[in-house]
Amino acid sequence: MSSDFSIYDRHTQVGLAPLAPGCTLQGKWRGQVYQIMNRIGQGANGTVYLALRGDELVALKVAEDASALSLEHENLARLGTDAAGRRIGPRALEIDDLTLGNRTIPALSMEYVDGMSILDFVRERGVDWLPVLLLRISKLLSSLHERGYVFGDLKPANILFVRASAEARLIDFGGVTVQGQAVKEFTEMFDRAWWGFGSRKADSGYDVCACALLGIHVLGLVQKADVERLAQRAPAERRLWLLARLQDKQFRTPFLEILQQAVIGNYRDTRSFIQEVGKVLEDNPIVASAVQASAVTAVRKPARKRSQPWDVTDWGLLIAIIVFAITLVLLIWL
């Protein structure tokens, strides 16, 4: 049972054979049965499927490296929710070895996030949303920072925005790093050290820089082709190129100014970055009201039912009862 995979399968990017829609797998340790619906994602370290676990739709991440997956599960279970119960990432369900015929497949099941990437979100609803989206991402990052961790590999593929509420979720906790260590995983385009703006040591500034670089990418100011070209240059030259790009009058906005300060590392902590982005929102009434509206519809709805029982009909009814009671009392009295 120990060598169901050869080293070859596990680490040479040949990958696990894909799981066909409709096939069912059973957990060796937990006994749960999963039915594969379809593939929803593919990364460097694993494949993610939409699956049925009982009658619940879940995301099932299948990876060759069982150890890395078990660490990811641990990270997600511990850090995926903050102290107040707010979601940072998808809810972790369980980790198990699934059996399919004579194959054993390490898998991690978690809540399925019906969401879209930051790029699709902005394409669909407009770039005005960008400050809001970055704000939401940085709040999640801040929660990790408060607990002594850094997310690390922040990039469009590792963030989802819930379709219904536009809430952000961090996906892929495999790159989460303890503050002070070297960042475990990174992507050139969003890496502080690659751009020559600092070290690759995990600190909150690393994530803030990545978040700002993400915004710059979404604005279309840095594309994959730029990174391919700049791969041949030294970090100092990349830095100069990016700063020149951000200075370009044609793109200059107060928001971009904030992103630039964040990339350079001029914010003391994640909170100050959040505050600055928040100010942009105050100055932008359209976005601010859109956010308010979405926050009200998304979050306040259930609360409203409980705290607003006294609408017009309620008051009318109350008055009617009182009047009726007084009349009754008067009638009896007389």
Partner 1 sequence: MPKNPILQQILLITDGCSNEGTDPVYIAQAARDRGITTSVIGILDEGSLGDQGRREAQNIAEAGGGMCRIVRAADLSSTMQMVTRQSMQLTLHQVVNAELRELMGQDANGLPPETRAKVARMVETLGEEMPVQLALVIDVSASMSTKMPSVKEAIRDLEFGLGARVGRYELTVITYPGAREHAEIQKALAPGESVADAIGLIRPAGNTPTGPALDLAVKSILRAAERLDFTESRPQLDDSDEESGSMRHYVI
Ligand X SMILES: Nc1ncnc2c1ncn2[C@@H]1O[C@H](COP(=O)(O)OP(=O)(O)OP(=O)(O)O)[C@@H](O)[C@H]1O
Contact between 178 and 152 under an 8 Å Cβ cutoff? The reply is no
Q: Measured from the CB atom, is 71 or 264 closer to ligand X?
A: 71
Residue from 76, 88, 93, 110 that binds ligand X (CB under 6 A)?
A: 110
Residue from 59, 116, 134, 208 that binds ligand X (CB under 6 A)?
A: 59
DSSP state letters, 21-65: TT-EEEETTT--EEEEEEEEEE-SS-EEEEEEETTEEEEEEE-S-
Residue from 43, 235, 265, 278 that binds ligand X (CB under 6 A)?
A: 43
- Residues 6 or more apart whose Cβ sits within 8 Å of residue 3: none
- Measured from the CB of residue 55, what is the shortest distance to ligand X in angstroms? 18
Containing 206, the helix (H) or strand (E) segment is helix 204-218
Distance in angstroms (rounded) separating the CA atoms of residues 73 and 96: 10
Distance in angstroms (rounded) separating the CA atoms of residues 279 and 131: 10
* Residue 86 partner contact from ligand X, partner 1, none using kind-dependent CB cut-offs of 5 to 8 Å: none
Q: Which of residues 243-272 bind ligand X (CB under 6 A)?
A: none
Closest by CA to 207, choosing from 256, 134, 117, 258, is 134
Phi, psi of 299 (to 5 degrees): -105, -40
Task: Quote the DSSP letter at residue 160.
Answer: E
* Residue 250 partner contact from ligand X, partner 1, none using kind-dependent CB cut-offs of 5 to 8 Å: none
236 binding partner 1? (CB under 8 A): no
Considering only the stretches 84-92, 120-128, 189-197, 258-266, report the one whose residues sit in contact with partner 1 under the rule CB under 8 A. Answer: 189-197
- Measured from the CB of residue 66, what is the shortest distance to partner 1 in angstroms? 5
Residues of this chain that bind ligand X (CB under 6 A): 40-41, 43-46, 48, 59, 61, 90, 110-113, 157-158, 171-172, 174
Residues of this chain that bind partner 1 (CB under 8 A): 1-4, 6-8, 11-14, 29, 44, 65-68, 70-71, 73-74, 95-97, 104, 106, 181-182, 184-188, 191, 193-194, 199-201, 224, 227-228, 231-235
